[in-house]
Amino acid sequence: MALILLAAGPFAVLVKAANVTESCSQVPQIVNSLHVNLANAVNFERQHLVSFMTNSKAGFRINGTQLNANFLMNYCYICGAIVCGIFTTGLSVS
């Protein structure tokens, strides 16, 4: 039981980091949707800001790979498969 609680801490941190990265990926759309009057329908300063934010890809990274929800779900799937494999081989050997 203590091992499960010990493993839940880093998993909670990974979930929070993935949420921050997903929030950072939505910021360019928010800036792009700001109100524009008809006098300057194309605001080139805002366009440069949106391009910069899109190209910088802010968020958390693990060994150069951006931590997002998709990466986290794949990580959980692989870890779950490994744990299931360990438990089934451990039970069949006994």
Positive or negative CA dihedral for 43, 46, 50, 52?
positive
Pick the residue with more confidence: 51 or 15?
15
Which run of H or E residues covers position 12?
A: helix 2-32
Left if phi > 0, otherwise alpha if psi is -120 to 50, otherwise beta: which for 84? alpha
**What pLDDT is recorded for position 40?**
59
Handedness of CA 43, 48, 51, 53 (dihedral sign): negative
Question: What pLDDT was estimated at residue 76?
Answer: 86
pLDDT in tens, 22-47: 887 777 777 666 666 656 566 666 67
Q: What is the pLDDT of residues 52-84, one digit of tens each?
A: 777 777 777 878 778 888 888 888 899 889 888
pTM recorded for the entire structure: 0.59
DSSP classification of residue 33 = T
Q: How far apart are CA 42 and CA 35, in angstroms?
A: 11
At residue 72, the pLDDT reads 86
Residue 86 near residue 48, CB atoms below 8 Å: no
Reply yes or no on whether the pLDDT at 4 is more than 60. Answer: yes
Residue 93: predicted pLDDT: 54
